[in-house]
């Protein structure tokens, strides 16, 4: 089956519903999202390929997913490093950062330098609500991810991409094609422009919610929080 996609308005409405009538807290949703991201990294980049994972963290929920993923990766035995230039004043994000500091996970200011010694990158800068232009200091970060030979996993959307139209026609992000993508809850329309390995995560959605928003919940196996899907959306 080809998985249906979820546009920006529907994705935002779905999040609101999960946190209201769905009875989930944002902490729970972020924990589950970050856990699924960590499982994708473990699957596509097992520890024997190199432990050093650089996590590029944006100021919003996508960044929070990255912070959670980094904590799980640290417990799996990786050596994550965090690039988090626009720290949120929100108490939840401050707690997520503190949890990493308590695990002696380093926070760095120089992205290119950190990238030069990384084995894998997690792009958790911008999510499905991104629009407009990429603000400092992220243009250079996205360009570096576009040009590096180090494999990149993007969280929900490749940063700078439009949720409907995919990569920008020109400028920052126009040449950014990450190796791996994890779509959270359901794929976004931009997946038609994505050429790498694609995963879906979000093993908490009720059948009623999926029916209401007209998307498919993949068949997760065993303990997996993620499912790999092929280029035309079929389960692999």
β-partners of residue 83 are 56, 108
The response to whether 159 counts as a known ligand-binding position is: yes
> Residue 111 burial by CB count (10 A; 0-12/13-18/19+): exposed, middle or buried?
buried
The response to whether 133 counts as a known ligand-binding position is: yes
Is there a contact between 215 and 4 (Cβ–Cβ < 8 Å)?
A: yes
pLDDT surpasses 90 at 19: yes
Is there a contact between 67 and 95 (Cβ–Cβ < 8 Å)?
A: no
Q: Which pairing describes strands 52-57 and 120-124: parallel, antiparallel, or unpaired?
A: parallel
Per residue in 114-157, pLDDT (tens digit) is 999 999 999 999 998 888 889 999 999 999 999 999 999 999 99
The response to whether 170 counts as a known ligand-binding position is: no
The response to whether 154 counts as a known ligand-binding position is: no
Residue in the block written with tokens 């990450």: 178
The response to whether 143 counts as a known ligand-binding position is: no
The response to whether 232 counts as a known ligand-binding position is: no
Quote the radius of gyration of the chain (alpha carbons, Å).
16
pLDDT surpasses 70 at 232: no
The response to whether 127 counts as a known ligand-binding position is: yes
The response to whether 7 counts as a known ligand-binding position is: no
Per residue in 35-69, pLDDT (tens digit) is 999 999 999 999 999 999 999 999 999 999 999 99
β-partners of residue 226 are 201
Q: What φ, ψ does residue 76 adopt, rounded to 5°? A: -75, -15
137 preceded by cis ω (within 30°)?
A: yes
Q: Strand ranges (DSSP E) for 10-106? A: 52-57, 79-83
The response to whether 22 counts as a known ligand-binding position is: no
Dist CA 110 CA 108 (whole Å): 6
Q: Which pairing describes strands 120-124 and 107-108: parallel, antiparallel, or unpaired?
A: unpaired
**Per-residue tokens: 97:** 């950062």
User: Per-residue confidence at 235, pLDDT binned at 50, 70, 90?
Assistant: confident
What pTM does this model have?
0.97
pLDDT surpasses 90 at 229: yes
The response to whether 131 counts as a known ligand-binding position is: yes
């Amino acid at each position: 089956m080809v998985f249906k996609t979820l546009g920006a308005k529907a994705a935002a409405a779905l999040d609101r519903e999960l946190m209201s009538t769905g009875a989930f807290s944002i902490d729970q949703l972020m924990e589950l999202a970050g856990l699924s991201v960590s499982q994708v990294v473990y699957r596509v980049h097992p520890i024997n390929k190199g432990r050093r994972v650089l996590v590029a963290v944006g100021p919003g929920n996508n960044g929070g997913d990255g912070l959670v993923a980094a904590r799980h990766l640290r417990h799996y035995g990786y050596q994550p490093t965090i690039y988090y230039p626009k720290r949120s004043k929100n108490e939840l994000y401050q707690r997520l950062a503190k949890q990493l500091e308590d695990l002696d996970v380093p926070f760095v200011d120089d992205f290119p330098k950190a990238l030069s010694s990384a084995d894998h990158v997690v792009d958790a800068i911008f999510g499905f609500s991104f629009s407009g232009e990429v603000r400092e200091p992220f243009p250079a970060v996205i360009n570096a991810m576009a040009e590096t030979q180090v494999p990149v996993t993007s969280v929900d959307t490749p940063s700078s991409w439009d949720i409907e139209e995919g990569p920008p026609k020109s400028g920052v992000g126009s040449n950014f094609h990450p190796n791996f993508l994890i779509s959270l809850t359901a794929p976004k329309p931009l997946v038609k422009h994505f050429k790498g390995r694609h995963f879906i995560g979000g093993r908490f959605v009720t059948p009623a919610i999926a029916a209401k928003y007209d998307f498919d919940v993949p068949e997760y196996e065993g303990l997996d929080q993620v499912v790999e899907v092929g280029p035309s959306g079929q389960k692999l």
